[in-house]
Amino acid sequence: MGSVDLRHAEKIYNDNTKAVDDVSLSIPEGEFVVFVGPSGCGKSTLLRLIAGLEELSQGEILINGVRANKLAPQARNVAMVFQNYALYPHMTVRKNLAFPLRMSHLPKNEIDRKVARTASLLGLNELLERRPKQLSGGQRQRVAMGRAIVREPAVFLMDEPLSNLDAKLRTQIRGEIALLQRRLNVTTIYVTHDQAEAMTLGDRVVVMHAGKIQQAAPPQEIFENPANTFVAKFIGNPGMNCLPATLRRDGDGAYTVDISGQPLGLKQDILIRYPRLDELIDIPVLVGIRPEAFKLETDQSALYGLTGEVVSVEFLGHETLVYFKLPPPSREPLGLSSEKGDISTYQRPSDENIAARLYKRHSLRVGDPIILGVDTDKLYFFHANGIALDRQ
Amino acid sequence: MGAHHLKTESRAAWVMVTPALLGLTLFLTLPFFLAVILSFTNLKLGSPLPVQFVGFDQFKRIFADPSFLRALANNAIFAVVVVPLQTVFALCLALVINRPLRGMTLFRTLFFMPVVFPFALIAVVWILIYAPGPNGMMNAALEVLSVGAWEARDFLHDPRSAFPAIMLMSIWQGVGFQMVIFLAGLQAIPSELYEAASVDGATKWRQFLHITLPQLRNTIIFVILVTTILAFRLFDQIQIMTHGGPNDATTTVIFEAVRSAFERQQVGRGAAMTTVFFLFVLFVTFLQRQIVKQEREIE
Amino acid sequence: MNIYRNVIAYLLLGAVSLIYIAPILFMFVGSFKPDENVLLEAGSWKAFFPESVSLQNFFDVFSRVNFSLFMFNSLFITLSIVALGLVVNGLAGYAFARLRWRGRNSIFALIIALMIIPFEAIAVPLFYQMTYLGWRDTYIVQIVPFIVNAFSIYLFYTFFIGLPKELEEAARIDGAGSMRTFFQIIVPNSKPVFATVAILTFLTHWGSFLWPLMVTSGEDVRPLPVAIAQFQTLPPLQWGDIMAFGVMLVAPILVIFLLFQGWFIRGVAATGIKG
């Protein structure tokens, strides 16, 4: 038993900042949900609201279908793993694990049994008589997990539990957490700022920004069908390039997308994937290109490509990240009339550099001109306000 | 607001603060207001006469009482002499002890030791040190130092030397306390400041003037405040060593207040004296806050 | 140049040390000397080097006055104030620093304001209050008014406000209430502030003189500082006995001081934060 429902949850702090803004989300029992977003997006506040460490300003929280707004943390039957683990420094590992059980007044033999079981589950048997100070970072993390598990709570809450570990250990324990969650099948809500962690761990990923849920979907869905440009840019490393562009259709019904004066022809089957593409004709849009959708054209006569200038090159061994910028448009875009659209945001070359992931050998250097082919099947379309165009 | 757990938290908070609030109300706030109220009455313990509101009479009377005026003057002299001497002495000791040399903690311990001694004990020992005749330790020491020119005297019974003797002893006792506060202040000064200054070619003396003193400013103001207030709280030494004598030469405000309230049972009069004392403390504290505030605004 | 400076530093400190050692050594040495020699030899080097060592003065103290009673009184009174004060002031400091409740900030501002009232300013009316209650000549009159201390609350407050919040949040989620969190999680991790407050309280009240002088008249509840002042005026005037009394008065605190002097010094330095 461990479902969590948020209904129009809102948290406003005394200084009138809205940390969580009208969040509704249903988490069924057993699901592993990851809240991800940049710092200050409200993900930790949301977790603390569920834990009962903060109090809702508006809306409702239901745990197991029971309204929990006014329940004290201990009454919510949730356990939390803190970023700094928050192990009690003056207690041994055994006492740390036993503390939540003592608080629920379990008989002593019951406590001993549960502590022993948790300890062997997490491989803590050798460490039971040590104090937190005598443990390594990974061991502390495991004890913090243990203290959450030992209570057999309805919901696990984890607030960036891996951020204090080095990269290698992080990957290892990430795997352990995923395995453990599957084994115990306890509803888990996990907060991180690391999109890779979110994508690998979550049954469902909740991307947050400015206190709002941007998208809540399984990792693959998040990657393949980002709901808006924020999600598109946030997921992936580097994220999707979102460039201002204009979509045009000529007399023959052929579609072209014009990015900063450089036209890319689209194949006819684009309408199958984007049946409502016609709505975007001749108005400002954003075109999304994943760095993986570029390929380096050795052949100068490439049909559809972008020409630009290399800004930086990051050689990563098996691949290279190339950042480039487009030259300003050399001519007035065709079909533009001044009463259409907002001129000021229209067709401006992007301030951000465009990232491309290349696998071929090359000898690019900063300042070099570059021509990159674009796989136009992998283009994304967004309204000027950032919302993704409906896709089949 | 209004969540269940906030209510329990609020209830817990009240359980936690209630004993403290009760104590502060009964044994600090109540007597404080009582002090002001009593100072406007003629309350006398064991007196058959009814208690009367006498307005400012008590204040008029104490300010016409030569003993009280002498007490005020003595406290003022004590403050004017002891505060600067003790502060400068403590600062010098702190500067020397702050040097990274062997054995400095030993000296620190030694100079701090009198702070942990009860004042009553120190006063008793110093009575003996100030013993009259050439056999007294202070007399003998002064005789050696002056190469025989010193004439032995009875320090505590001589109106000219009784109060200076008490001041000297008070400095001896109190220096360690201020030294430790100065040391803490010195250690809080970032060493980069000195490194930068010495790179800039500042001599030790200039470093002291332009880094140590300004950085220590608030500590110095605090120490001066505490010592000034201490100067007006002067009581234990007086009670034990001279009992205010000879001829009120060493009397103090608190000594007069206690004598009025305790020995003569004149509670109203004693309260008036402590009220004067409190107003002074308030004034000094206010002055310190103002100086510190000005400093912060300049920064 | 540097060596020259260091030599001067040592010379200066050495000279000052003599001034500091002399009275203390004088007392210790005097306590082992025959009574009449104490004053007689005060002006010579013999003040610091006894020719013979005897414990007679210590026996004399015990036979002339009820020293054990005074010692018990002082210990009982001071330790009661310290122990009760740690609990009461610690709890209050915690509630002000960490719990959310209506009125917290305004009440705390009042407590800060109360810090400037020196004890001497209220001694007379408090004396009157205690007389009215009939508490004179009791332990209670020497303990109860001093348990709560605004400055102690302030010291606890500044310490607790600097603690990270995670431990308390973990405890709350684990099901501990505010009281239990304080006693089982906060207290074990706040030893420095408890040591500081305990030491400052102990120092203040072990040497307390004015108040016990006012409220005690008999010997039953008389503490050591008043007792030594009285003893010093008790005929016949025997300086050896007085010095022995002094040594026994200061010995416990001196031992504690030498063992934990780091804490003492940190504790006193903590009062400097007030500015």
DSSP string, C103-161: THHHHHHHHHHHTT--HHHHHHHHHHHHHHHT-TTSSHHHHHHHH--HHHHHHHHHHHH
Residues 206-245 on B with a CB inside 8 Å of C are 218-219, 221-223, 225-226, 229, 233, 235-236, 239-240
State which amino acid sits at residue A27: I
| Tens-place pLDDT, residues A148-196 | 999 889 999 999 999 888 888 888 889 989 998 998 899 999 999 999 8
Same domain? A175 vs A260: no
Residue A340, token pair as written in the block:
């259409």
Checking DSSP bridges between strand A4-12 and strand A18-27, what pairing results, if any? antiparallel
Q: What residues 156-175 of chain C have any CB closer than 8 A to a CB of chain A? A: 164, 166-167, 169-175
Count CB neighbours of C62 within 10 A: 14
Banded pLDDT at C128 (limits 50, 70, 90) = confident
A63, A155 in Cβ contact below 8 A?
yes
For the cut 60, the answer to whether the pLDDT of residue A334 exceeds it is no
Domain end: A234, A256, A277, which one?
A: A234
CATH number at residue A102: 3.40.50.300
The answer to the question of residue A390 being in a domain is: no
A267, pLDDT greater than 90: no
A-C contacts at Cβ under 8 angstroms: 58
A52 vs C contacts (CB less than 8 Å): 172-173
Chain C CB within 8 Å of residue B13 CB: yes
pLDDT of residue A300: 56
Domain check: are A54 and A119 in the same one?
A: yes
**In a domain? residue A326:** yes
Instruction: Name the pLDDT band for B49 (thresholds 50, 70, 90).
Output: confident
β-pair partners for A322: A313, A356
Per-residue pLDDT of C53-106, as tens digits, reads 788 888 888 888 888 999 999 999 999 999 999 999 999 999 999 998 888 999
From residue C265, how far is each of A94, A249, B183, C82, C261 by CA, in Å? 37, 83, 10, 18, 6
C-alpha–C-alpha distance, residues A347 and A129, integer Å: 66
Both A220 and A98 in a single domain? Answer: yes
Q: Rounded CA gap, C102 and C98, in Å?
A: 13
Q: Of C145, C149, C136, C148, give the one whose Cα is nearest residue C222.
A: C136
CATH number, domain with residue A249: 2.40.50.140
Please compute the mean of the pLDDT values over residues C251-267 and round it to a whole number.
Answer: 85
Among A234, A264, A283, the domain boundary falls at A234
A159 and A23 together in one domain = yes
Could you tell me how far CA A99 lies from the centroid of its own chain?
Answer: 34
C52 has a pLDDT exceeding 80: no
Give the count of domains, chain A.
Answer: 2
Most confident of B31-35, C90-94, C247-251: C90-94
Please tell me the predicted confidence (pLDDT) of residue C1.
53
pLDDT at A348 over 80: no
**Whole-number pLDDT of residue C275:** 39
Q: How far apart are CA C193 and CA C161, in angstroms?
A: 12
How confident is the model at residue B50, as a pLDDT? 78
Q: Give residues 265 to 284 of A whose Cβ lies within 8 Å of B.
A: none
Mean pLDDT of A331-340: 44
Residue A185 lies in a domain: yes
Searching chain C, which residue's CA lies closest to the CA of residue B254?
C120
**Would the pLDDT of A330 be above 70?**
no
Q: Does A103 touch chain C (CB under 8 A)?
A: yes
Joined together, the tokens standing for residue C19 give 């001034």
* DSSP code per residue over A81-148: E-TTTT--TTS-HHHHHHHHHHHTT--HHHHHHHHHHHHHHHT-GGGTT--GGGS-HHHHHHHHHHHH
| A76-80, A84-88, A332-336: segment of lowest average pLDDT | A332-336
Residue C113 burial (C-beta neighbours within 10 Å; 0-12, 13-18, 19+): exposed
Cis peptide before C236 (omega within 30 of 0): yes
At B256, list the tokens. Answer: 């007069």
Peptide bond between residue B214 and the one before it cis (omega within 30 degrees of 0): no
For residue A287, list its beta bridge partners. Answer: A243, A381
Q: Take residue B254 and report the two structure tokens written for it.
A: 């608190």
Minimum distance, in Å, between the CA of residue A23 and any CA atom of chain B: 20
Q: Would you say residue A392 lies in a domain?
A: no
Average pLDDT over residues A285-293: 91
Residue spans of alpha helices (H) in chain C: 2-30, 35-40, 56-64, 67-98, 104-114, 119-133, 140-147, 150-161, 166-173, 178-180, 191-206, 210-215, 224-232, 239-259, 261-271
Are A116 and A262 in the same domain? no
More confident residue, B104 or C43: B104
C68 vs A350, more confident: C68
Compute the average pLDDT of residues A216-239.
92
The SS3 call for residue A330 is coil
- Best of A53, A149, A163, A164 to substitute, by most chain C Cβ atoms within 10 angstroms, is A53
> CB of A59 within 8 Å of any CB in chain B?
no
The single-letter DSSP state of residue B208 is: I
Collapse the DSSP code of A73 into the 3-class scheme (helix H, G, I; strand E, B; otherwise coil) and give the result: helix
Q: Which residue of A has its CA nearest to B8?
A: A72
Provide the 8-state DSSP code for A388: B
pLDDT at A350 over 60: no
Q: Which of B7-11, B105-109, C62-66 has the lowest mean pLDDT?
A: B7-11
B276 in C contact zone (CB under 8 Å): no
A104-118, A266-280, C108-122, range with the lowest pLDDT: A266-280
Question: Does the beta-carbon distance from A71 to B8 stay under 8 Å?
Answer: no
Characterize the bridge pairing of strands A379-383 and A187-192. Answer: unpaired
Closest CB to C268: pick one of B181, B233, B240: B181
Which residues on chain B are in Cβ contact (under 8 Å) with A70? 3-5
Q: What pLDDT shows up at residue C270?
A: 75
- Reported pTM: 0.85
Question: What SS3 state is found at C256?
Answer: helix
Cβ atoms within 10 Å, residue B164 = 14
- Tell if the CB–CB gap between B5 and A69 is shorter than 8 Å: no
Among candidate residues A204, A234, A264, the one where a domain is terminated = A234
Q: Decide if B118 and C206 are in contact by the 8 Å CB cutoff.
A: yes
Is A104 an 8 Å CB contact of chain C? Answer: yes
Do A326 and A344 sit in the same domain of this protein?
yes
List the subunits that have 3+ CB pairs under 8 angstroms with A: B, C
Residue A308, both tokens: 């630009």
Alpha-carbon distance A9 to A18, whole Å?
11
Q: What is the DSSP string of A3-65?
A: -EEEEEEEEE-TTS-EEEEEEEEEE-TT-EEEEE-STTSSHHHHHHHHHTSS--SEEEEEETT
- Per-residue pLDDT tens over the stretch C189-225: 999 899 989 988 998 899 899 899 888 888 889 999 9
Please give the pLDDT value at position A301. Answer: 53
SS3 A255: strand
Residues of B in contact with C269 (CB under 8 A): 180-181, 183-184
Give me the sheet containing A78-81, strands edge to edge. A78-81, A155-159, A187-192, A32-36, A204-209, A212-217
Q: Confirm whether A389 is domain-assigned.
A: no
Claim to verify: residue A269 and residue A350 sit in the same structural domain: yes
Nearest CA in chain A to B2: A70
Contact C100, C143 (CB under 8 A): no
Mean pLDDT of A352-364: 84
pLDDT band at B261 (very low <50, low <70, confident <90, very high): confident
Residue A344 has a pLDDT of 40
Contact between B96 and B106 (Cβ < 8 Å): no
Listed residue (A10, A13, A14) closest to A24, CA to CA? A10
d(CA C70, CA B171): 29
What pLDDT, on a 0 to 100 scale, did the predictor assign at position C63? 86
Question: Would you call A86 and C172 a contact, using CB atoms and an 8 Å cutoff?
Answer: no
Q: Is residue A332 predicted with pLDDT exceeding 60?
A: no
> Which residues on chain B are in Cβ contact (under 8 Å) with A60?
none
Please tell me if residue B283 touches chain C, with a CB cutoff of 8 Å: no
Q: Which two tokens stand for residue B222?
A: 């605090």
| Alpha carbons A380 and A387: distance in angstroms, whole number | 11
Average pLDDT over residues C40-50: 73
**Pairing mode of beta strands A78-81, A155-159:** parallel
Bigger pLDDT: B103 or A5?
A5
Q: What is the pLDDT of residue A336?
A: 42
Number of other residues whose CB lies within 10 A of the CB of residue C2: 7
Chain A contact present for B199, CB below 8 A? no
- The set of residues, in sequence order, having a beta carbon less than 8 Å from that of A244 and lying 6+ positions away, is A259, A260, A284, A285, A286, A287, A345, A346, A347, A348, A349, A350
Instruction: Provide the domain limits for residue A253.
Output: 241-383
CA distance A90 to C194: 16
Chain A residue with CA closest to C190: the answer is: A90
Q: Which CATH class is domain B56-298?
A: mainly alpha
Helix, strand, or coil here: A385? coil
The first and second tokens of residue C185, run together, are 């999680």
Can you read off the two tokens belonging to residue C271?
Answer: 């009062």
Domain coordinates in residue numbering, chain C: 65-271
Looking at this predicted complex, what is its ipTM? 0.85
In this structure, the answer to whether residues A83 and A160 fall within a common structural domain is yes
Do A333 and A312 share a domain, yes or no? yes
**Residue partners of C134: CB distance under 8 A and separation at least 6:** none
Same domain for A292 and A159, yes or no, is no
Is B282 in a helix, a strand, or coil?
helix
Predicted local distance difference test score (pLDDT) of residue A337: 41
Spatial separation of the C-alpha atoms in residues B280 and B1, rounded to whole Å:
44
CATH 1.10.3720.10 fits domain C65-271: yes
**CB within 8 Å: B6 and A55:** yes
Q: Are A243 and A253 in contact (CB under 8 A)?
A: no
Tokens of C3: 């060596």
Q: How far is CA A20 from CA A54, A55, A58, C173, in A?
A: 11, 11, 10, 21
- Rounded to an integer, the average pLDDT of A291-314 is 79
Whether A104 and C175 lie within 8 Å, measured CB to CB: yes
C-beta separation of A35 from A47 below 8 A: yes
